[in-house]
Amino acid sequence: MQKPKDLKPLLHPRTMAVVGVSRKNDRHPANVIFYKNHLRQTVDVYAVNPKGGKLLGEKLYPDVASVPGQVDLAVIAVRAAQVPGVLADCARAGAKSAAVISGGFAEVGREDLQDEISAIAADAGMPMLGPNCLGIYAPGYADTFFLPPERMIRPEQGNVALVSQSGGILVDQMIKFADEGVGLSLAVSIGNKAMIRERDLLAYLTEDDKTRVIAFYVEGFGKGEGRAFVHQARDAGKPIIILKAGKSAAGTQAVSSHTAALAGDYNVFSSVMAQFGVVEAKNELELVSFCEALSCYDKPLSGRAAILTGSGGHGAMAVDECARLGIETPALSSALAEKVRAGLSEPVSSIASLKNPIDLTGSAVDDDFVHAVSTLSDSSEVDCVLLLLLPYLPGVTSDLGARLSAVFRRKGKPLAAYVPRLEKYRMLIEGFELNRVPVAPSIDGAVLMVEALRRCAPC
Partner 1 sequence: MLKPEIKEILDQAREAGWAMEPQAKEIMRLAGLPVPDFTWARDKEEALACAREKGFPLAAKVVSKKIVHKSDAGGVAVNIADEDELAGVMDRFAGMEGFEGAVVEPMAQGAELIVGGRVDHQFGPVVLFGMGGTAVEVYKDTVIRMAPIDEDTVGNMILSLGARDLILGHRGEKPLDAAGIKSLVAGFSRLLMDLEDEIESVDLNPVMCSHKGCNIADARIMLAR
Residues that bind partner 1 (CB under 8 A): 220-227, 230, 256-263, 265, 267-269, 271-272, 275-276
Q: Please, what is the minimum distance in Å from the beta carbon of residue 230 to partner 1?
A: 7
Nearer to partner 1, 256 or 380 (CB): 256
Least separation in angstroms between residue 178's CB and partner 1 is 32
φ, ψ for residue 52, nearest 5 deg: 65, -155
Crossing angle of helices 83-93 and 111-123, rounded to 10°: 0
Q: Spell out the residues 6+ positions from residue 97 whose beta carbon is closer than 8 angstroms to its own.
A: 7, 9, 10, 13, 72, 73, 74, 126, 127, 128, 129
Closest to partner 1 by CB, 122 vs 249, is 249
Q: How far is the CB of 194 from partner 1 (least distance, A)?
A: 18
Q: How far is the CB of 199 from partner 1 (least distance, A)?
A: 12
**Cα 323 from Cα 346, distance rounded (Å):** 33
Nearer to partner 1, 220 or 237 (CB): 220
Helix (H) or strand (E) holding 129: strand 128-129
Minimum gap (Å) between residue 242 Cβ and partner 1: 12
Shortest distance, position 276 Cβ to partner 1, whole Å = 8
In this structure, are residues 73 and 95 in contact, taking their beta carbons and an 8 Å threshold? yes
Q: Alpha-carbon distance 94 to 430, whole Å?
A: 47
Nearer to partner 1, 27 or 223 (CB): 223
| Residue 356 vs residues 308, 384, 386, 391: alpha-carbon distances, Å | 8, 13, 11, 21
Q: For residues 266 and 392, which CB has a smaller minimum distance to partner 1 in the complex?
A: 266
DSSP letters for 390-456: -TTSTT--TTHHHHHHHHHHHH---EEEE----GGGHHHHHHHHTTT--EESSHHHHHHHHHHHHH-
Closer by beta carbon to partner 1, 278 or else 384: 278
Stated as kind and residue range, the H or E segment containing 376 is: helix 366-378
Nearest approach, Cβ of 311 to partner 1 (angstroms)? 34
Burial 373-409 (b: 16+ CB within 10 A, else e): bbbbbebeebbbbbbbbbbebebbebebbbbbbbbbe
Q: How far is CA 401 from CA 183, 307, 354, in A?
A: 19, 16, 22
Shortest Cβ 271–partner 1 spacing (Å): 4
CB nearer partner 1, residue 141 or residue 221: 221
Give min distance, CB of 78 to partner 1, in A: 34
CB of 136 to partner 1, least distance (A): 26
Question: By C-beta, is 246 or 330 nearer to partner 1?
Answer: 246
Continuous H helices in 181-311: 198-207, 225-236, 258-262, 265-275, 284-296
| Number of helical H runs and strand E runs in the chain | 17, 20
Q: Do 53 and 23 meet the contact criterion of CB atoms below 8 Å apart?
A: yes
**Nearest-approach distance from CB 184 to partner 1, in angstroms:** 28
Q: Please identify, using beta-carbon distances, which residue of 93 and 272 lies nearer to partner 1.
A: 272
Indicate if the alpha-carbon torsion angle 249, 250, 256, 258 is positive or negative.
positive
Q: Which is nearer to partner 1, 271 or 333 (CB)?
A: 271
Instruction: Please state, in angstroms and rounded to a whole number, the distance separating the CA atoms of residues 83 and 14.
Output: 23
Nearer to partner 1, 272 or 402 (CB): 272
